[in-house]
Amino acid sequence: MRIAIYARVSTDKQDTQNQLVQLRDFATKQGWHITREYVDDGISELKPTAGLNQMFADADRHRFDLVLFWALNRQNQVDGWNVIDEHHLRKTFKFPDFRKALGFVDRVGELAEEQGHHPDIFLAWGKVEITTWTHKINGLTESDFILAAKIDQLYKP
pLDDT of residue 75: 45
Task: Name 132's bridge partners.
Answer: 89
Structural domain total, the chain:
2
In a shared domain, residues 60 and 8: yes
Q: Structure pTM?
A: 0.57
In a shared domain, residues 62 and 97: no
Round the average pLDDT of the chain to a whole number and report it: 84
In a shared domain, residues 55 and 10: yes
Domain span at residue 24 reads: 1-71
DSSP symbols for 31-82: TPEEEEEEEEEEE-TTS--HHHHHHHHHHHTT--SEEEES-S--GGGSTT-E
Regions of the chain short of the pLDDT cut 70 = 10-14, 42-48, 70-77
pLDDT of residue 129: 97
In a shared domain, residues 89 and 153: yes
pLDDT digits (tens, 9 = 90+) for 42-75: 654 445 578 888 888 898 888 988 888 766 554 4
In a shared domain, residues 31 and 63: yes
pLDDT of residue 77: 57
Domain edge (last residue) among 19, 38, 71 = 71
Q: Is 14 exposed, middle or buried (0-12, 13-18, 19+ CB in 10 A)?
A: middle
Q: Is 136 exposed, middle or buried (0-12, 13-18, 19+ CB in 10 A)?
A: exposed
pLDDT of residue 53: 81
